[in-house]
Every structure is written in structure tokens, then in C-alpha cells.
């Protein structure tokens, strides 16, 4: 999307926009001819909403490309994910409130499990609870020292953490240690663009992994760390500057708070669980004109291959939907940042169901699901067009040209 065009045409109004994201919403049938998680869910409220909405399938990055959560959300916010490349570590660091300096290098940590042969048997260490994750972070901060750099390890949630390296002359052009599959050995960090800065950064990162492995060797199941998404603080046009919106984010996971903070959104304190997020939305309704509401458990269930649990999360959100509709947003979009089919246990390239409700839609179906969205009035379209659609449907864009 052309951000300069949005900046030129945006107009301030009293109308309000909600972008409700069920992370990893898109899915697949477990068997040929079956239904997806969304199609199998009992969603009377989403279905009624679909009957008065535009429907389509969004494409987060490019055909056949499985996006990470960072690129997926950047596209949702209208930023071209190929132009604005933000390391996941940066998002995690900002999300936990770390004051990331311009020369700091950040990487996301997954605590993971190594078997007796040195191969990864669980990339998420059995999804250890947050209490254990925080304990392991304390061990790393107390015991891992690297010559030539300050190292900060900050707990994020459950098995997730972030590491920040502070030293002059670093570069974020580095490969991950996570091979993305079990049964393989962790990978060494390598420069993806040869330079003095990347060589130095790779050496620091590999030294950290070596030190962490020594500290964690008896901490089964979390006896190693996997590093992903190296990056440094980027410059991103703010929501207020680009769209003229007083934007707020409601998200439980630090990474998504980091994305919102990077875009210049206010971070609102979420309540307990999904219903708590809706509590926050209701309480803050008069204070902002754009709300990004993020629901994480759909993605976690898909990654675990748990079709029924993912369906259950969708049904839980459906049950809460009337509370959102009673607030009367001028434009409401319901979608995901990518597909996470339980069948694949991972992010995928498949189209993401998209629903847009406003008084100015062309309804084509009476259900909300992948097949209904595939035949919708919006067809298949790039996810970075979503903000333009929302702005237009909320009557927040002036006419272009004479």
C-alpha cells in the first residue's frame, strides 16, 4: 500500500475502527473433503456478521510464502513486509519494554529440548510455564558472560525470551539457530551478508549459545536455547503520522505489543484471557479511534496440531463478539496474520479468511469460513491493503484527484 497516499488522503473523524486478529486463523481440513477449523466451529455470531460483510482471502506476503508473525502483522498494519523488515527479536524486546538502543542487537529466544544425540526433540521445551521460563532467564543473566559485549536476557512468556547484545559495530544480518524442525541439530549463527559487523555479531551470538548450553545442561526439558529473528531498531512510519489515527493495541503476548509499539500505538493493559481483552476494549472505547485486538491461542493450538482446541478458541471469540458489536464500530475487520493449519502444525502460505463489516459492503455469503471467503466480493488480495479498506469503509479517506 502507498503510505504517502494514505497520509495525503486521511481525514480525522469521530468514527472508530477495530481490527480483530485471531492469530493463525486460516486452516485446512484434516482429511480430504472435510472442513477447516473455522468452518467446523459453531460461530452463529460470525456467520450473522458475514451475511452483512465483505469477505475475501488475504495474502500476507506473497504466493506460496509462509510468513512469520512479524511480516504478517506488518502487512495487516499497511506496511509492505518486504520493504519493512523487522527482526522478531526487536519486536520481543520492545514488547517487554526494553529500551532498545540504535546499536543494540536483539534476538528472540525459544527454550528448547536437546536429546542425547544433540538433536532437537522439542522446539518449545514442552511449553514450560512462565514461572520456569523466568527462572531460566535469571540463571542466564547470572552466569553467561561474553567478552566485548553487554548481554541482557529478558523473559517474554512461557518458553519465550529475548536476548540483547550491546556493543559497537554490530549488524543484524544473521541466520537463525532454529532449523524449524525436530530431529535436527541446532544451527550455528552465520552472517547472511559478510561484513565486519556481522562477523562480530555472529561470534557474540554463538558464544552466548555455548554459554547458555553449559548453564542449562541439567535443566531438562529446557536444556538449550534457539535464537531467531536477529535485528536492530528500524524506523517505521507511525500510525498517527500515516493514517491520522489515535491507535491502541490490546494484546497479551509481548511480541505483538512490540509490533504495536513500533507502529506508534498506545499499549493498553489487557485483562485476563480473551474476555479480559474485550473488557479493556470496552473501558478504552472513548479514548481512541483505532483498536488492534490480538487473540493468540488460535495460533498456539494450530502449532500443536490440535484441531479441536483451535476450533474451541474460535467459538470462544464468537461468543464474545456481541460485546464488540454493541460498541458500534464504523468499520470492523476480523482476520488473522497468517494461516496455522493444525494439519501442518506450522504457519503456512494459505489464504487467510477476512471479513469486513461496515454499512458499505457487498455481502456474498451467510457463513464465515475459508470457502465462503474464497467466493467473497474481495476475492484474494494482499493483506497490506486491509488498512486502506478499513479507512475507506470508516469514511476516513478523502477522494483522490479531481
Q: Which of these, 379, 381, 301, 275, lies nearest to 40 by C-alpha position? A: 301
Whether residue 341 lies inside any domain: the answer is yes
Q: What is the mean pLDDT of residues 262-289?
A: 94
Q: Do 190 and 291 sit in the same domain of this protein?
A: no
pLDDT at residue 283, rounded to an integer: 97
Pairing mode, strands 53-59 and 160-166: unpaired
Q: Do 251 and 383 sit in the same domain of this protein?
A: yes
How many structural domains does the chain have?
2
Whether residue 106 lies inside any domain: the answer is yes
Q: What is the mean pLDDT of residues 65-76?
A: 93
Q: What is the mean pLDDT of residues 261-289?
A: 94
pLDDT at residue 101, rounded to an integer: 86
pLDDT in tens, 15-33: 999 999 999 999 999 999 9
Pairing mode, strands 331-335 and 352-357: antiparallel
pLDDT at residue 261, rounded to an integer: 87
Range of the domain at 134: 90-231
Residue of 101 and 369 predicted with greater confidence: 369
Q: Do 151 and 170 sit in the same domain of this protein?
A: yes
* Cross-strand pairs, 353: 57
Q: Do 246 and 379 sit in the same domain of this protein?
A: yes
Whether residue 188 lies inside any domain: the answer is yes
Name the band, by pLDDT with cuts 50, 70 and 90, for residue 223: very high
Q: What is the mean pLDDT of residues 106-122?
A: 96
Name the band, by pLDDT with cuts 50, 70 and 90, for residue 100: confident
Q: Is 8 helix (H, G, I), strand (E, B) or coil?
A: helix
Distances (CA, A) of 110 to 156, 183, 227: 10, 16, 7
Whether residue 399 lies inside any domain: the answer is no
Whether residue 402 lies inside any domain: the answer is no
Q: Do 287 and 310 sit in the same domain of this protein?
A: yes
Scan for cell 526439558, then name that residue: 221
Domain boundary among 165, 199, 231: 231
Q: How far apart, in whole angstroms, are the C-alpha atoms of residue 328 and residue 248?
A: 17
Cα dihedral 357, 262, 235, 346 in deg (nearest 10) = -70
pLDDT in tens, 163-182: 999 999 999 999 999 999 99
The distance in angstroms from the start CA to the end CA of the chain is 21
Residue 235 has pLDDT above 80, yes or no: no
CA 38 to chain centre: 19
**Residue 203, Cβ density class (10 Å: 0-12 exposed, 13-18 middle, ≥19 buried):** middle
Q: Is 381 helix (H, G, I), strand (E, B) or coil?
A: strand
Q: Do 378 and 274 sit in the same domain of this protein?
A: yes
Task: Write the CATH number for 193.
Answer: 3.30.70
Helices within 254-382 (DSSP H only): 254-262, 273-284, 297-303, 307-327, 370-374
Note if the bond before 221 is cis, omega within 30 degrees.
yes
Q: Do 181 and 272 sit in the same domain of this protein?
A: no
pLDDT in tens, 178-210: 999 999 999 999 999 989 899 999 999 999 999
Distances (CA, A) of 178 to 17, 56, 282, 305: 37, 33, 40, 20
What is the pTM for the complete model shown?
0.81
Domain boundary among 173, 200, 231: 231
* Cross-strand pairs, 154: 162
Residue of 287 and 70 predicted with greater confidence: 287
Q: Do 192 and 285 sit in the same domain of this protein?
A: no
pLDDT at residue 139, rounded to an integer: 97
What would the DSSP string read from start to end of 327-353? H--SEEEEE-SSB--TTTTS-B-SPEE
Mean of pLDDT over the chain: 95
Q: How far apart, in whole angstroms, are the C-alpha atoms of residue 107 and residue 117?
A: 26
Whether residue 149 lies inside any domain: the answer is yes
pLDDT in tens, 317-354: 999 999 999 999 999 999 999 999 999 999 999 999 99
Task: Write the CATH number for 346.
Answer: 3.40.720.10
Domain boundary among 213, 231, 249: 231
Q: What is the mean pLDDT of residues 78-95?
A: 88
Amino acid at each position: 500500500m502507498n503510505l504517502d497516499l494514505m497520509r495525503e488522503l486521511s481525514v480525522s473523524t469521530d468514527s472508530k475502527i477495530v481490527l480483530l486478529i485471531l492469530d493463525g486463523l486460516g486452516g485446512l481440513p484434516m482429511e480430504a473433503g472435510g472442513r477447516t477449523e473455522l468452518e467446523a466451529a459453531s460461530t452463529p455470531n460470525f456467520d450473522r456478521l458475514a451475511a452483512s460483510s465483505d469477505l475475501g482471502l488475504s495474502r500476507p506476503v506473497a504466493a506460496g510464502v509462509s510468513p512469520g508473525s512479524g511480516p504478517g502483522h506488518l502487512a495487516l498494519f499497511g506496511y509492505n513486509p518486504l520493504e519493512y523488515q523487522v527482526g522478531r527479536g526487536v519486536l520481543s524486546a520492545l514488547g517487554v519494554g526494553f529500551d532498545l538502543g540504535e546499536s543494540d542487537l536483539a534476538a528472540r529466544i525459544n527454550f528448547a529440548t536437546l536429546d542425547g544425540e544433540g538433536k532437537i526433540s522439542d522446539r518449545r521445551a514442552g511449553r514450560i510455564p512462565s514461572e520456569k521460563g523466568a527462572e531460566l532467564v535469571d540463571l542466564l543473566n547470572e552466569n553467561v558472560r561474553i567478552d566485548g559485549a553487554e548481554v541482557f536476557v529478558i523473559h517474554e512468556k512461557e518458553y519465550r525470551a529475548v536476548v540483547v547484545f550491546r556493543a559497537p559495530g554490530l549488524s543484524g544480518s544473521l541466520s537463525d539457530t532454529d532449523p524449524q524442525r525436530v530431529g535436527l541439530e541446532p544451527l550455528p549463527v552465520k552472517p547472511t551478508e559478510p561484513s565486519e559487523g556481522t562477523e562480530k555479531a555472529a561470534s557474540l551470538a554463538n558464544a552466548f549459545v555455548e554459554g547458555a548450553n553449559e548453564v542449562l545442561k541439567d535443566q531438562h526439558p529446557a536444556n538449550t536455547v534457539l535464537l531467531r529473528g536477529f535485528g536492530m531498531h528500524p524506523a517505521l512510519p507511525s500510525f498517527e503520522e500515516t493514517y491520522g489515527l489515535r491507535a491502541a493495541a490490546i494484546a497479551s503476548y509481548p511480541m505483538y505489543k512490540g509490533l504495536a509499539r513500533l507502529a506508534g500505538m498506545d499499549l493498553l493493559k489487557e485483562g485476563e484471557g480473551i474476555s479480559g481483552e474485550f473488557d479493556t476494549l470496552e473501558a478504552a472505547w472513548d479514548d481512541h479511534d483505532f483498536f488492534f485486538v490480538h487473540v493468540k491461542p488460535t495460533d498456539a493450538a494450530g502449532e500443536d496440531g490440535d484441531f479441536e482446541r483451535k476450533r474451541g478458541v474460535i467459538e470462544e471469540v464468537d461468543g464474545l463478539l456481541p460485546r464488540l458489536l454493541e460498541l458500534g464500530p464504523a468499520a470492523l475487520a476480523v482476520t488473522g496474520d497468517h494461516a496455522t493449519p493444525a494439519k501442518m502444525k506450522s504457519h503456512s502460505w494459505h489464504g487467510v479468511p477476512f471479513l469486513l463489516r461496515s454499512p458499505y459492503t457487498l455481502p456474498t455469503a451467510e457463513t464465515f469460513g475459508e470457502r465462503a471467503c474464497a467466493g467473497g466480493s474481495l476475492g484474494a488480495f494482499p493483506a497490506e491493503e486491509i488498512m486502506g479498506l478499513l479507512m475507506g469503509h470508516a469514511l476516513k479517506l478523502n477522494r483522490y484527484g479531481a
